[in-house]
A = this chain, B = another copy of it.
């Protein structure tokens, strides 16, 4: 940068300048701009309470010094923070990335910003980050918790910081939460198959203690029960990843049971696993012999060579709504009752059910 000839002698003893110059503070800015500390604060927080010329001078000093306001001090003094934290169960799952983006957008519009923490499917990390955020005194926290019975409502997640849950419904309604109607998602998936004329359907997914999986199964069950002569078989897997789908696929391919003509998978990954196995198995052409619908609208579900029909959860919307709920609480505009917002999933038909009738866009 420039090397303006600063006279060291002129600088008063209070300001020491070593090789590692200390961060300039508002006091330094005030001094340079020949105004008082309060004025600097005002030009930063209440620009309209400062004359134009003064503000310009202050801003100039700020730039000259490379001053960056200390947010720790700020939120300590002001008692409020402008950032909210989001703790995500698994950044590897694009749904959570979508949720974060939705929240970020909504928050940014209201002048706040979002910091993300990744639990990486680890309950300890989740709890740790919850605490980190609370210690940092963020304005509020959005939590996309691990879906397992383990986190079943520890008395309170934070002592005071507002929290809203996303993609998980609090049993006790201690928190507001936004979820999708998993049951309806399962219903829609099965319904889609039924509408296509499929009648011998299987639901592949698990483990069943995962709330979402159970709900999706219930929904599929309900749809099948509505149709005369349709049957639903349940095939439990140990997880919702591709390998589980493959295992189930091999199992189905090997079995001599009556041929199925449709399957509802509890996740896109399972669906992809199934399809990969089916494609290598005579008599299991997808979707001719057997149609497959997944769940999640994982980004790559649409990119596999047989794009997977899927039930899409409105991730960004979920994040946006959660952010709104949280801000309501932060700003005290919240209704006294905690609310649960249920967002509708939608099915996105693709080649794995429609076949050649399907065209991308």
Contact = CB atoms under 8 A, between A and B. Distances in A.
A294 to B, nearest CB: 12
A156 interface: yes
Contacts of A15: 156
Contacts of A158: 68
A247 interface: no
Interface in A121-170: 128-129, 131-132, 134-137, 155-156, 158-160
Interface stretch (A47-55, A94-102, A193-201): A94-102
Interface stretch (A26-34, A112-120, A224-232): A112-120
A56 interface: no
A202 B94 CA distance: 32
A14 interface: yes
A42 interface: no
Contact of A91 (B81, B91, B137, B300): B91
Interface string A158-194: 1110000000000011100000000000000000000
Interface string A61-74: 00000111111111
Q: Identify which of A68, A85, A306 gathers the most chain B CB atoms within 10 Å of its CB.
A: A68
A179 to B, nearest CB: 12
A220 to B, nearest CB: 19
Interface in A1-43: 1, 6, 11, 14-15, 23
A89 B173 CA distance: 36
A159 B66 contact: yes
Nearest to A242: B303
Interface in A234-284: 242, 269, 272, 275-276, 279
A71 B272 CA distance: 45
Nearest to A305: B305
Contact of A113 (B66, B67, B128, B242): B128
A173 B6 contact: yes
A87 to B, nearest CB: 11
A299 B71 CA distance: 38
Contacts of A70: 76, 135, 137
**Interface-central residue, A67, A101, A115, A137, by most chain B CB under 10 Å:** A115
Given A83-B132, A92-B97, A71 B275 contact: no
Contacts of A296: none
Nearest to A161: B68
Given A76-B70, A279-B305, A300-B303, A1 B155 contact: yes
A75 interface: yes
B115 A115 contact: yes
10 contacts: A66-B156, A68-B158, A72-B81, A92-B299, A113-B128, A115-B115, A116-B118, A279-B305, A300-B304, A305-B306
Which 9 pairs of residues, A with B, have the shortest CB-CB distance? A300-B300, A71-B135, A66-B159, A116-B116, A72-B72, A305-B305, A72-B76, A115-B115, A71-B136
Given A70-B135, A91-B101, A269-B303, 7 more contacts: A6-B173, A68-B158, A72-B137, A91-B100, A104-B120, A114-B117, A300-B303
